[in-house]
Structure 1
Amino acid sequence: MSQPTTTASSGRMPRQIPYIIANEGCERFSFYGMRNILTPFLISTLLLFLPESERTGEAKHVFHTFVIGVYFFPLLGGWLADRFFGKYNTVFWLSLVYCAGHACLALFEDNVKGFYLGLGLIALGSGGIKPLVSSFVGDQFDQTNKGKAKIVFDAFYWIINFGSFFASLLMPLFLKNYGPAVAFGIPGVMMFIATMVFWSGKKKYVHVPPSAPNPHSFSRVARTALATNGAGRTVAMVGLFGALASLLMSPQWGFVIAACTALVLLLGFVGAGISMQLERARGLHPDEAVDGVRAVLRILVVFALVTPFWSLFDQKASTWVVQANSMITTFSVFGNEFTLLPAQMQALNPLLVMLLIPFNNLVLFPLLQKIGITPTPLRRMTAGIAFSALSWLVIGTIQVSMDAGTPTSMAWQILPYALLTMGEVLVSATGLEFAYSQAPASMKGAIMALWSLAVTVGNLWVLVVNAAVKNDAVLGTIASSGVSVIAFQMYFFAAFALLAAIAFGLYAKRYKMVDHYRSIEGAKAPAAVKV
């Protein structure tokens, strides 16, 4: 007997989703709460044993080492979940490690080794679960209700910014008024609440089991492709030796640039080599396995083209704050004057995210549909990169005006913040959905980890550009252009992102979307829940 066909949008919203969304909001509050006060705490308290002239440099070193760990450990978390423990178990146990890290920060406020241990545990916990929670959201959907996944991914991104907004406003005040034990303890309590909320939904979740040992896995197909001599194998070896050479340059370049460059060389050259020789694996592995590897390599190209966006986005916490330091920070609204600190402008970003996500879903996207333009994921991401380029064109023009001696209010940064945040919503929130939907079932955790890793690569471009402008020849070229170094960099990054948007759009036209949402029988469904 035939069964009625159920469309992707007719299924109901999974009832377990609120547990995951609440967990994410609390976890993001805990993470941004401790991260936003880390540098000032290091300078003012923990590193007092150093000469004053060295504290700022050491604080930056500690901070960036911590961030590197946060964005590298997703590879470990994705691998553990995909191969051994599954997403739920990996997230739960690493969340307990995360809680232990917060406890160390609160308990060892005056002990360097204990505090650094806490940072290491948080990097492991936060980074390890980073690619898994969002992909765990996707696991709760199947072919009957996958149309509702976009709504949930947007809500997921909205709650991230909700937590970030209040953490950015409140935690510096707690550090100032109540001290580091309280200021670091509150994020720890929030992370414990996040873990308990996540655990309480255990019996309601869909649990996709880890992949069994597979003789036709991604890594084995890739090894087969490169097992024989050929141009692809040579290209892969170039990447390997290039990565080793990059690591050897650590004393000259610094560890951050050297390690990130090594990673880019490995991913780029080895991936290209595998692609060149992938057909050699056909026959030794099923066509489905070979085509799956090809799909992953195509996804990595998309991720690579997104990295320039992260170059621009993450500088709102550095380059844009530096600009704001030279602006007029007193505002007059309806006759009332108030003053903002330059760093407080960053709270505008999560606030705008919370406004723009519902605006796009309720107003902009339906309007585009009515006029015959379908806002597909790749179209949204192309537009998002272009919006980021436009924001930097505006911020660069503001800088040129300031360099000419024009007194400028910090309120002028509202426009570039709005443009950059629109870009963030179109790229980052969409990217979570895209990455999950395009990843083969056995690679979902790892693919989400590589999406997080794109942030690291994006920051590499910033480090390279900042190092380049210290070169005398480059400085001479900038001087002949008639603009300041900071304005030149702003226009450079605007052009960089614009070229990336064009390249992304061209590649998107050739990209064939696939559907890797699970089938209804593809996972262990939750037990029935009484209404």
Structure 2
Amino acid sequence: MTTTSSDAIAKPRLPRQIPFIIGNEACERFSFYGMRNILVQFLISSVILAYVPEADREGAAKDIFHSFVIGVYFFPLLGGWLSDRFFGKYNTVLWFSLVYCAGHACLALFEDNRNGFYTGLFLIALGSGGIKPLVVSFVGDQFTRDNKSMAKVVFDAFYWSINFGSFFASLLMPLFLRSYGPAVAFGIPGILMFIATLIFWMGRKRYIRVPPVANDPNSFMHVAKTALTSTDGAGRPGFYVAAFGGALAVFLLMAWAIGPAWWPEDYGFVITACLALGVLIACGGLGTSMQLERARGKHPDATVDSVRAVLRILIVFALTTPFWSLFDQKASTWVIQGREMVIPHDEWWWPSFLVKEAGQMQALNPALIMLIIPFNNLVLYPALRRAGLEPTALRRMGTGIVFAGVSWIVAGILQLWIDGGSQVSLAWQIAPYLLLTFGEVLVSATALEFAYSQATQAMKGVIMAFWYLTSTFGSLWVLLTNAGVRNDAVTAHIAGTGLSENAFLMFFFAAFAFAAALGFALYAKRYKMQDNYRAA
């Protein structure tokens, strides 16, 4: 019997362990979004903020929410480092998941105790952040170059499962909070997190586990250190740039600790620490780039080239941070706006039996994602290719930032109607949610694939951590803006525009996104794509 060429080439197969990871992610995302999406409305009316004047509680709730988000997306640095250097992805995910479960228990048990509740938020930020970069890269580890064509399908299915869990959490948890109180509303996500941990553990014998790279003399940090400390060549400009960044970071932290009169009163530890971290990354990366060629000969050329690639990736990541400053406010600013709108219970098409709270509009985001992802893959992207326009990862991400900006223009127009005294239907929020969600699919779903493919094997966990760190800086921009509008001069300027503070900020964030999209497009033209899937 003869074998045709088509028979000889085996079709790529989906690894058997993938369903365990996707099932884990669906339950974990239910648990996370279940508590996250009721956090602001709970805090506004809870005894946790009883010490805050009632007129200031919305602002205080937003600050707590975005400080929590900063923690969630900061701790991936810790999880990525522990995984890549010591414990591997599987063990790190399992142990941080247990911390995660403990955090949910604290929220359910300490609904009226400020210290206990904040401890729960910290543990969830630690647990969720610790596993966040690892689960995605763990999915990538299950593939080789022989079946990497299946990876895009799985990454999309992975992102679809995230939103499957998020949809039901966003839709149901506000109702549970309203009907049964915070103990039940925070307790159910805790049960789902325990189930997620159990599902992940059940697949332990099937996973491909890439071992950690401990004490790698050619790691990113070792190469960067060699480059910065080298005295070869004329002068040490990169070293001085990095040293300046370190000194400035220390200065910022000392200014916060000492609290001189010129230091902004609203710049607490979270804002200051994030600013210091941003300065370290920016100056350290720039300094390393300036002297990186000095590491050649002391490290393999391939390693030096991979460090250069990582530095280029970090620039791409930095340009997406404004997107996250817009996206994460759908759970704070947009929820607060929705509370000022009228729920159209008298309309025949409104599902009054189910949607009773403005916060439930957040369920639109995951519901639309589950529709948009297959639409893009089956209809939009093939149509663009037929038209001769390849929807590359960078093109998709840049376009997504633009759509986010447009969504905030629409939200700002709705706010103008509200400020003008109009009775605005909550249904109008569907429009900005649709635009923002389309932008999210183009940015976030694409970035999962982009970040994994661009990182070398030894840096996959850490580079994913840097990707999630973009959300930390996105929330930092929100906290800085919130602190800024408490300044009398800024408030007077906003009043001079004739806009309310909420409307002004919505248009401000839209302009912020458009500026970022322009910078992203200019940089994307110069970026060279990499292929770093592991060999079979």
TM-score (norm 2): 0.89
Give the aligned partner of residue 395 of structure 2: 379
Give 1:476 shift.
Answer: 4.2
**Cα displacement string for residues 471-492 of structure 1 (whole angstroms, at most 9, x for unaligned residues):** 4444444444443333332222
The correspondence for 2:508, drawn from 488, 492, 495, is 492
Q: 1:60 to 1:223 in 2, by over 3 A?
A: same
Shift of 1:350: 1.4
Q: Which of 79, 82, 93 is equivalent to 1:80?
A: 82
Q: Which residue of 1 aligns with 2:375?
A: 359
1:248 to 254, 262, 287: 254
Are residues 337 and 75 of structure 1, via their aligned partners in 2, closer, same or farther at CA, if it must alter by over 3 Å?
closer
Change (3 A) 1:330 1:428: same
143-152 vs 292-301, greater mean Cα deviation: 143-152
Partner SS, residue 327 of structure 2: helix
Stretch deviating more after TM superposition (142-151 or 460-469) = 460-469
Cα distance in 2 for partners of 1:448, 1:499 equals: 25
In structure 2, do the counterparts of structure 1 residues 370 and 416 end up closer, same or farther at CA, with 3 Å as the change threshold? same
* Code of the aligned partner of 2:163: N
User: How far is the alpha carbon of 1:42 from its aligned partner?
Assistant: 5.3
* 1:527 aligned partner: none
Shift of 1:14: 1.5
Structure 1 SS opposite 2:525: helix
Of 253, 262, 284, which aligns to 2:276?
A: 262
> Structure 1 residue 272: deviation in Å?
0.5
Aligned to 1:299: 313
CA distance in 2: counterparts of 1:6 and 1:143, whole angstroms? 19
| 8 Å contact kept, 1:9–1:147 | no
Q: d(CA) in 2 for partners of 1:294 and 1:39?
A: 41
Structure 2 residues not aligned, in runs of 5+: 260-264
Listed as ranges, the matches of 1:461-480 within 5 Å are 461-480=477-496
User: Residues of 1 paired with 2:375 and 2:108: CA distance?
Assistant: 39
Number of corresponding residues: 517
* Paired letter, 1:329: I
User: Which stretch shows the higher mean deviation, 66-75 or 396-405?
Assistant: 396-405
CA root-mean-square deviation: 2.7
Structure 1 alignment gaps of length 5 or more:
521-531
Alpha carbons of structure 1 residues 67 and 6: separation in structure 2 relative to 1, 3 Å:
farther
Distance apart, 1:402 and its partner CA = 4.0
Other-structure match for 2:300? 286
Match of 2:435 in 1: 419
CA distance in 1, matches of 2:64, 2:495: 34
Per mean C-alpha deviation after superposition, the further-off stretch among 298-307 and 221-230 is: 221-230
Q: Give the match's secondary structure for 1:435.
A: helix
| Structure 1 residue aligned with 2:262 | none
Match for residue 502 of structure 1? Answer: 518
CA deviations 1:498-529 (Å, max 9, x no partner) are 12112111211111100011111xxxxxxxxx
Distance 1:13 1:349 in 2: 28
Aligned to 1:21: 22
Equivalent residue, structure 2, for 1:204 = 206
Is the 8 Å Cα contact of residues 62 and 333 (structure 2) preserved in structure 1?
Answer: no
Q: Deviations over 1:444-498 (max 9, x none)?
A: 1111111111001011122222333344444444444443333332222222211
Please, which moves more after superposition, 59-68 or 415-424? 59-68
> Alpha carbons of 1:498 and 1:47: their partners in 2 closer, same or farther (altered >3 Å)?
closer
Paired residue for 2:330? 316
Aligned to 1:168: 170
For 1:464 and 1:415, locate their aligned partners in 2 and report how far apart those are by CA, in whole Å. Answer: 27
> What is the deviation of 1:83?
0.6
- Aligned counterpart, 1:231: 237
8 Å contact kept, 1:8–1:143: no
Q: Are residues 1:186 and 2:188 paired?
A: yes
**Are residues 498 and 39 of structure 1, via their aligned partners in 2, closer, same or farther at CA, if it must alter by over 3 Å?**
closer
Instruction: Write the mapping of 1:302-451 to structure 2, written as runs, cut at 5 A.
Output: 302-330=316-344, 332-334=346-348, 338=352, 340-451=356-467
**Contact 1:311-1:458 at 8 Å conserved across structures:** yes
Once residues 9 and 430 of structure 2 are traced to their aligned partners in structure 1, the CA distance between those partners, rounded to angstroms, is: 39
Q: CA deviation at 1:38?
A: 4.0
Name 1:528's counterpart in structure 2.
none
Residue type of the alignment partner of 2:192:
M
Per the normalisation by structure 1, the TM-score is 0.90
User: Which residue of the partner structure matches residue 476 of structure 2?
Assistant: 460
Letter in 2 for 1:483: L
Q: Check 1:8–1:499 CA distance in 2 against 1; reply closer, same or farther (3 A cut).
A: farther
Q: Which of 83, 92, 95 is residue 94 of structure 2 equivalent to?
A: 92
Distance (Å, rounded) in 2 between the aligned partners of 1:71 and 1:137 = 19
Instruction: Pick closer, same or farther for the CA change 1:394–1:59 going to 2, 3 Å.
Output: closer
How far apart are the structure 1 equivalents of 2:255 and 2:420? 40
- What is the SS of the residue equivalent to 1:188? helix
